């Protein structure tokens, strides 16, 4: 037998003893996959441990499923716990609230009728800075007639109208202001023209001054005429008096002539 053959034989014997030891270990220390319960000197089977684990997991899963179903559908309070709404109810209420708030916002923007007329809109009623819930409307905020913010100058607060009405009112007032500006510019030009007529070289003011001068001259002439008229009256009276004197003298001379004859 050659040396290689001897080595192979010894190697085969060593592997055989190794496999024998492995088989003995597996047999003496084997895992119990049965559902046998544990004893004092023997642990429970793997199947029993797995069954216990499944039971514990099922209990946790059932509890999780119960809580999930309760969170989804709510609690009616029959088990003695406080009643509360579930996720489905809240989701439906959220959709309804969205429709309600959209209607309120639309009314605040374009009025209850949607035409943007001068109609008082609704506002949220508050108490101590918090909205007052309305039990008749799913505890949504209570709506009252809206008012402008109260200030010291206006303690009562005027009614508040929709946004579109203020836009139309702003456009109307803007148009009126523009028309007033055009009219003001027209009146300013007319005033400028009239002022030029008043204070120009041959304007009304100069004409008034000229008329005043003419009136002064006319008054002076009238006074002169009145003075001359007075002098004429005096002269006339003197002449009449002189005539009377001459007439009396003539009568005296006639009488004297007749007496001489």
- Render pLDDT for 201-218 as a digit per residue (tens, 0 to 9): 666 677 777 888 888 888
Identify the pLDDT of residue 200.
65
CA dist 253 and 139 (Å) reads 141
Q: How far is CA 137 from CA 89, 93, 131, 133, 251, in A?
A: 15, 11, 13, 8, 135
> Which residues neighbour 31 within 8 Å (Cβ) at sequence distance 6 or greater?
46
Identify the pLDDT of residue 153.
63
Instruction: Identify whether the C-beta of residue 86 lies closer than 8 Å to the C-beta of residue 71.
Output: yes
- Name residues of the chain where pLDDT drops below 70: 1, 26, 29-36, 38, 40-45, 151-157, 198, 200-204, 261
CA dist 180 and 178 (Å) reads 5
For the full predicted model, state whether its pTM sits above 0.85.
Answer: no
HEC sequence for 31-68: CCCCCCCCCCCCCCCHHHHHHHHHHHHHHHHHHHHHHH
205: which strand partners? none
Instruction: Identify whether the C-beta of residue 84 lies closer than 8 Å to the C-beta of residue 70.
Output: no
Listed by start position, the domains of the chain span 87-163, 201-261
Q: How far is CA 129 from CA 58, 125, 132, 164, in A?
A: 50, 9, 9, 28
How many other CB atoms sit within 10 Å of the CB of residue 162? 25
DSSP helix/strand/coil, 192: helix
Identify the pLDDT of residue 99.
92
């Amino acid at each position: 037998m050659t040396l290689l053959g001897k080595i192979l034989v010894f190697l085969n014997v060593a592997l055989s003893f190794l496999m024998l030891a492995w088989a003995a270990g597996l047999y003496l220390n084997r895992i119990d996959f049965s559902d046998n319960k544990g004893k004092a000197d023997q642990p429970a089977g793997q199947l029993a441990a797995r069954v216990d684990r499944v039971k514990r997991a099922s209990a946790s899963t059932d509890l999780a499923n119960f809580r999930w179903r309760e969170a989804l559908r709510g609690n009616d309070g029959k088990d003695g716990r406080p009643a509360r709404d579930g996720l489905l109810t809240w989701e439906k209420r959220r959709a309804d609230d969205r429709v309600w708030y959209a209607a309120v916002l639309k009314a605040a923007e374009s009025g209850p009728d949607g035409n943007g007329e001068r109609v008082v809109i609704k506002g949220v009623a508050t108490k101590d800075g918090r909205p007052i819930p309305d039990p008749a409307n799913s505890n949504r905020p209570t709506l009252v007639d809206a008012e402008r913010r109260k200030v010291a100058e206006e303690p009562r607060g005027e009614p508040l109208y929709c946004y579109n009405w203020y836009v139309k009112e702003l456009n109307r007032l803007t148009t009126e202001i523009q028309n007033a500006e055009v009219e003001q510019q027209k009146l300013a030009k007319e005033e400028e023209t009239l002022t030029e007529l008043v204070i120009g070289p041959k304007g009304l003011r100069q004409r008034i001054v000229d008329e005043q001068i003419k009136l002064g001259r006319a008054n002076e002439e009238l006074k002169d005429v009145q003075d001359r008229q007075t002098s004429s009256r005096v002269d006339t009276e003197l002449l009449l008096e002189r005539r009377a004197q001459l007439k009396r003298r003539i009568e005296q001379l006639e009488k004297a002539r007749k007496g001489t004859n």
